Amino acid sequence: MTLRFSPLRTSFAGAAMFGMLAAPSAVQAQDHSDHPAMTMSPSMTMKPAMAMKQASASGPQFKAGDLTVTAPWSRATPKGAKIGAGYLTIQNNGTAPDKLVGVESVVAGKTEIHEMSMTDGVMKMRPVTGGVTIEPGKSVVLGPSGYHLMLMDLKNPLEQGQSFDATLRFEKAGPLKVTFQVGGIGAGSAPKH
Ligand SMILES: [Cu+2]
């Protein structure tokens, strides 16, 4: 099995228009060398062992039941932009799978769970149907190259240094209120604290 996904060689046609282009993989690898660089996506050709590697995320933590959500973050948006994205890591410390099924935030009129995937060599994003499963004992990273929360109909631009609240909805663990920290427009990972 080969690893065909290469952020450096990817045409970010879909991503660029949403201001999600600047995700220098070198920076990400440096800051998150202990993380998988991207999340599981059925359409990516990846070794399962690599994709399921345990993440040891650092940053603010929010807990609901067996789930721990670490370091929710976002990027500043250009003036007039109506779309932003939310990233975080979800760890399932329980013995049963759970699912992220939805998210709401006061900053956005509409919010969806999206995933980035390669289609014919082009990076595209699409809404996730049926939620994102977090297997017991595993982590799922929502990041610039994989699953992410799409914040649509932004009421105001997201500004660097700002934080905002959102509620994540899990199938079993229920609602969980978290706070997102907004990094720079080109941030490749969560702002440092
Ligand atoms: Cu998206």
pLDDT classification of 56: cutoffs 50, 70, 90: low
| Three-state secondary-structure class, residue 192 | coil
Measured in Å, residue 37 CA sits from the centre of ligand 1 at: 17
Among the listed residues 149, 135, 168, 127, the one whose alpha carbon sits nearest the alpha carbon of residue 40:
135
Measured in Å, residue 79 CA sits from the centre of ligand 1 at: 18
* Res 186: pLDDT: 84
Among the listed residues 133, 190, 121, 184, the one whose alpha carbon sits nearest the alpha carbon of residue 157:
184
Measured in Å, residue 157 CA sits from the centre of ligand 1 at: 17
Measured in Å, residue 85 CA sits from the centre of ligand 1 at: 7
Measured in Å, residue 126 CA sits from the centre of ligand 1 at: 6
| Three-state secondary-structure class, residue 143 | coil
| Three-state secondary-structure class, residue 16 | helix
Measured in Å, residue 36 CA sits from the centre of ligand 1 at: 19
Measured in Å, residue 149 CA sits from the centre of ligand 1 at: 7
CATH number of 61-183: 2.60.40.1890
- What would the two tokens of residue 107 be? 């900053």
Top-confidence residue, 164 or 31: 164
Top-confidence residue, 104 or 119: 104
pLDDT classification of 10: cutoffs 50, 70, 90: very low
Top-confidence residue, 158 or 36: 158
Please give the full DSSP string across 148-188, using - where no structure is assigned: EEEEEEESS---TT-EEEEEEEETTTEEEEEEEEEE-TT--
Q: Residue 126: in which H helix or E strand, if any? A: strand 122-127
Q: Where are the domains of the chain?
A: 61-183
Measured in Å, residue 73 CA sits from the centre of ligand 1 at: 15
* Res 36: pLDDT: 37
- The predicted model scores a pTM of 0.70
pLDDT classification of 169: cutoffs 50, 70, 90: very high
Whether residue 145 contacts residue 35, with contact meaning beta carbons closer than 8 Å, is answered with no
**Residue given tokens 């509409």 in the structure block:** 110
Q: Is the sign of the CA dihedral 161, 162, 167, 169 positive or negative?
A: negative
- CA distances (Å), origin 165, targets 9, 37, 62, 81, 86: 35, 25, 12, 19, 11
Measured in Å, residue 114 CA sits from the centre of ligand 1 at: 5
